[in-house]
Structure 1
Amino acid sequence: MIYVDNRQEKIEVSEILIENLKKVIQFTLMEEEVDVECEVSLLFVDNEEIREINNETRSIDRETDVLSFPMLEYQDKKVFKQLYKNYEFSQSDFDGNELVLGDIVLSLEKALEQSKEFNHSYEREASYLVVHSVLHLLGYDHIEEEDKVIMRSREEEILNKLNITR
Structure 2
Amino acid sequence: MIYLDDRQEKYKVDEDFIKQVKNAIDFSLKKEGVSVPYEVSLLFVDNEEIRKINSDNRGIDKETDVLSFPMLDFPKDKVYKDVYLNHSFDATFLDGEELVLGDIVLSLEKAMEQSKEFNHSFLREACYLVVHSVLHLLGYDHMDEEEKKVMREREEEVLDELNIKRD
Q: TM-score range by the shorter chain?
A: over 0.9
1:39-80 deviations in whole A, cap 9, x for unaligned? Answer: 000000000000000001110000000000000011134249
Tell me which residue corresponds to 2:165. Answer: 165
Q: Which runs of 4+ in 1 moved over 6 A?
A: none
Tell me which residue corresponds to 1:42. Answer: 42
Q: Give 1:144 shift.
A: 1.1
Tell me which residue corresponds to 1:156. Answer: 156
Give the 3 Å change call, closer, same or farther, for CA 31–119 of structure 1 in structure 2.
same
Q: Are the aligned partners of 2:4 and 2:43 in contact in 1 as well (CA < 8 Å)? A: yes
1:111-155 deviations in whole A, cap 9, x for unaligned? Answer: 000000000000000000000000000110000110000000000
CA RMSD of aligned residues (A): 1.5
Tell me which residue corresponds to 2:102. Answer: 102
Structure 1: distance between partners of 2:77 and 2:47 = 31
Classify the secondary structure of the residue corresponding to 1:4.
Answer: strand
Classify the secondary structure of the residue corresponding to 1:44.
Answer: strand
Q: What pairs with 1:107-146 in structure 2 (closer than 5 Å)?
A: 107-146=107-146
AA aligned opposite 1:141: D
For normalisation by structure 1, the TM-score amounts to: 0.92
Q: Are the aligned partners of 2:33 and 2:86 in contact in 1 as well (CA < 8 Å)? A: no
- What is the number of residues matched between the two proteins? 162
Unaligned 5+ segments in structure 2 are none
Structure 2: distance between partners of 1:89 and 1:81 = 19
Unaligned 5+ segments in structure 1 are none
AA aligned opposite 2:44: F
Structure 1: distance between partners of 2:87 and 2:30 = 15
Q: Are the aligned partners of 2:39 and 2:101 in contact in 1 as well (CA < 8 Å)? A: yes
The percent identity for this pair of structures is: 65
For normalisation by structure 2, the TM-score amounts to: 0.92
Structure 2: distance between partners of 1:83 and 1:156 = 19
Structure 1: distance between partners of 2:155 and 2:99 = 23
Tell me which residue corresponds to 1:21. Answer: 21
